[in-house]
Amino acid sequence: MRKLDEKKEILYVIRTLDVLMSSGVGLEAALHTIGKGGYGIISKDFSSLMTKLSAGKSRGLEFEVKALMNKAESDGYRRLLNTMYTNLTQNTDLIDTLRKQGKRMEEDRSESVNKYIEELGGVPETLLSIGMIGPIILAIVGLVPQILGDGAEAIIGTIDQGLINSIVNGGLMFTLVGMMLIGLKAHTKDPGL
């Protein structure tokens, strides 16, 4: 759950940091702004980081960022924290690096959406096929005794209508379960954007 929340919010956090820092706001103030909320688990992380810093229970911003790196689950969030840590310890160009990361993450996100759309391409046709053809075939199976009449007994033997009803009902239930599983499969492949 944490990883999915990080993946959803990280691009927005990077863009916000870029805008804030480009307009002259320092890193600590930008983290404080993001920590106020609106960015899910990342806001909670930055809020706790700023609380520790303001309470004097920390050895410094770089140590808190390093601790968050161990807590981060998604690659993008870990990269952002690593970039911030590098900026704090080596005084690198954070704004340019954030822009590059944001662009790369945007491209990755676009690729994952396109891949998801391609994978879903056959799902509607499959659901339509199963949902339409399955009940038609089962209805024909249910009508076989009435269609053939006495001739069916000569070919197959005695046919119990209760057995035919059970087969048709079981087939319809199987069709519904199959359609639900296909829908679930499509839902679990959702890139979570």
Residue 150 pLDDT exceeds 80: no
* DSSP H or E run through 1: none
Residue 19 pLDDT exceeds 70: yes
Residue 155: pLDDT band with limits 50, 70, 90: low
> What pLDDT does 103 receive?
92
Burial of 112 (0-12, 13-18, 19+ CB in 10 A): middle
> What pLDDT does 154 receive?
66
Domain residue extents for the chain: 2-114, 121-188
Give tens-digit pLDDT for 35-59: 888 888 889 988 988 888 888 877 7
Kindly state the DSSP code that residue 39 receives in the 8-state scheme: S
Q: What is the mean pLDDT of residues 25-33?
A: 88
Residue 192 pLDDT exceeds 80: no
Q: What is the mean pLDDT of residues 160-178?
A: 84
pTM over 0.85: no
Residue 29 pLDDT exceeds 70: yes
Q: What is the mean pLDDT of residues 7-26?
A: 89
Q: Which has the closest alpha carbon to 190: 123, 126, 112?
A: 112
**CA of 149: how far to CAs of 105, 137, 166, in Å?**
67, 19, 19
Q: What is the mean pLDDT of residues 151-165?
A: 71
Residue with the larger pLDDT of the pair 116 and 147: 116
Q: What is the mean pLDDT of residues 182-190?
A: 76
For domain 2-114, give the fold. Answer: Receptor-associated Protein (1.20.81)
Q: Which has the closest alpha carbon to 40: 79, 1, 66?
A: 1
Maximum alpha-carbon separation in the chain: 92
Kindly state the DSSP code that residue 58 receives in the 8-state scheme: S
